């Protein structure tokens, strides 16, 4: 243990009790919502608390109540610009429920076991996992301990863990439809991480959507959801003699990089020479220099759903897996050639929504 013993313990509820001339349990009841305390006693306690600078000790309270009011959020990295937005929204939504966000980020190896040990030691009330997974034994442990877990923007093959996602497969298919309707004849896909559910579903949807139009020849490279790897993948794909004229990139974080490579290294005009569609609809996709047509993820609603599941499960003690699947929209901007129909205006945005849907 470190040396420093200079952190002062703080004013205790016993000190407030003595000052107010009541018992320690009256002080506690004053600060416990719903507990029985008379107005007169409450005022005395609050006055003393204020005078003494009392702040209840959440650590002690957590020990007694078996409720830390801490939610662990695990995000291996924040580089993908989707996740900072999610994090900010989570901070807001959790604070509104009087929960606090213990963040685990900045670990590169994606192995979350050491992280998991730490958060379990803190007896967190719930866990939100983004961009990382949970082994089945750790999942079991959470179930046994009665701690709700929600996967954010991710699923597992087992349905045992709650999740909030969007219809990535339908999204991929919608993009395929859009590009085909735009008259494109050759197609490429720059993949995310091969072991990620979001990538698998987006890829599958895209491939199936193209196949439904009789197209089976799709060029695929992997970008690992990383800017550097996406640049490499783009260079490889755009160097082919049979270069595809329409690209679906698995997320906007990579799409931005791919567009830079296409324009500045290959001198391609977007969308005249190459159409490009991303996924997530994060900040830079919307910036004028990029204007990426992108499948949106309704971030606020996803966060709402996540916090909703957590709060319900914490309150009820029933932590059976629950899955919320939300719809996004294909937001049309300037990065891809347009179909002749199916584009509607919605909330000040152009949306691709063909007639059959």
In whole angstroms, the minimum distance from the beta carbon of 342 to its own copies comes to 26
**Contact between residue 329 and residue 296 where contact means Cβ atoms under 8 Å apart:** yes
φ, ψ of residue 205 in degrees (nearest 5): -60, -45
**Tokens encoding 320:** 């059976």
Distance of alpha carbon 6 from alpha carbon 1, whole angstroms: 14
Q: Which does 290 bind (CB under 5 to 8 A by kind): DNA, its own copies, none?
A: its own copies
Span near DNA by CB under 7 A; candidates 33-41, 80-88, 142-150, 325-333: 33-41
Binding of DNA by 68 (CB under 7 A): no
Question: Is residue 304 involved in binding its own copies (CB under 8 A)?
Answer: no
Three-state secondary structure call for residue 149: strand
Q: Verify binding: residue 28, DNA, rule CB under 7 A.
A: yes
Question: In degrees, to the nearest 5, what angle opens at C-alpha 222 toward C-alphas 219 and 228?
Answer: 125
Q: Does 263 bind its own copies (CB under 8 A)?
A: yes
- Respond yes or no on whether the N-terminal peptide bond of residue 271 is cis (omega within 30° of 0): yes
Nearer Cβ to its own copies (72/176): 72
Positions 6 through 45 that interact with its own copies (CB under 8 A): 6-10, 32-34
Beta strand 275-280 with 218-222: parallel, antiparallel or unpaired?
unpaired
Residue choice 43, 47, 63, 287 for contact with DNA (CB under 7 A):
63
CB of 9 to DNA, least distance (A): 3
Query: Which member of 39, 269, 272, 289 binds its own copies (CB under 8 A)?
Result: 289
Give the number of other CB atoms < 10 A from CB of residue 121: 8
Q: Are 233 and 190 in contact (CB under 8 A)?
A: yes
Which partner from the list DNA, its own copies, none does 325 bind, CB cut-off 5 to 8 Å by kind? none
Sequence-ordered alpha helix ranges (H) in 187-293? 197-211, 227-238, 252-260, 283-286
Number of residues in contact with its own copies under rule CB under 8 A: 83
Q: Which residue, 102 or 326, is less far from its own copies as judged by CB?
A: 102
161 binds, among its own copies, DNA, none (CB under 5 to 8 A by kind): none
Q: For residue 207, count CB atoms less than 10 angstroms from its CB and return exposed for 0-12, middle for 13-18, buried for 19 or more.
A: buried
Instruction: Catalog residues that contact DNA under the rule CB under 7 A.
Output: 1, 9-10, 12-14, 22-29, 31-32, 35-41, 54, 56-57, 60-61, 63-66
């Amino acid at each position: 243990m470190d040396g420093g013993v200079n952190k002062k313990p703080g004013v205790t509820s016993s000190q407030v009790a003595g000052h107010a001339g009541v018992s320690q349990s009256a002080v506690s009841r004053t600060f416990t919502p719903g507990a029985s305390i008379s107005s007169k006693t409450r005022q005395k306690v609050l006055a003393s608390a204020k005078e003494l600078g009392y702040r209840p000790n959440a650590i002690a309270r957590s020990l007694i109540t078996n409720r830390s009011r801490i939610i662990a959020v695990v995000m291996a990295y924040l580089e993908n610009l989707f996740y900072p937005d999610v994090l900010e929204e989570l901070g807001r939504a959790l604070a509104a429920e009087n929960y606090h966000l213990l963040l685990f980020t900045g670990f590169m190896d994606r192995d979350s076991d050491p992280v998991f040990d730490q958060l379990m030691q803190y007896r967190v009330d719930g866990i939100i996992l983004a961009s990382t997974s949970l082994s089945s034994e750790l999942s079991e442990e959470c179930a046994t301990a009665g701690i709700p877990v929600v996967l954010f923007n991710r699923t597992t093959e087992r349905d045992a863990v709650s999740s909030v996602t969007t219809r990535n497969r339908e999204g991929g298919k919608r993009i395929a439809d859009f590009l085909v309707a735009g008259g494109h004849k050759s197609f490429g896909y720059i993949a995310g991480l091969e072991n990620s559910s979001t990538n698998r579903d987006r890829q599958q949807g895209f491939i199936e959507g193209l196949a439904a139009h009789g197209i089976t020849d799709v060029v695929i490279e992997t970008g690992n959801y990383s800017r550097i790897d996406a640049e490499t993948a783009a260079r490889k794909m755009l160097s082919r003699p049979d270069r595809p004229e329409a690209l679906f990139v698995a997320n906007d974080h990579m799409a931005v990089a791919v567009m830079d490579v296409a324009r500045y290294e290959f001198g391609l005009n977007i969308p005249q020479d190459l159409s490009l569609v991303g996924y997530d609809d994060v900040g830079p996709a919307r910036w004028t220099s990029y204007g990426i047509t992108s499948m949106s993820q309704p971030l606020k609603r996803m966060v709402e759903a996540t916090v909703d599941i957590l709060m319900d499960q914490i309150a009820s003690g029933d932590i059976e897996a629950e899955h919320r699947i939300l719809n996004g929209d294909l937001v049309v901007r300037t990065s891809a050639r347009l179909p002749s129909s199916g584009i509607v205006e919605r909330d000040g945005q152009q949306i691709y929504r063909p007639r059959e849907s």
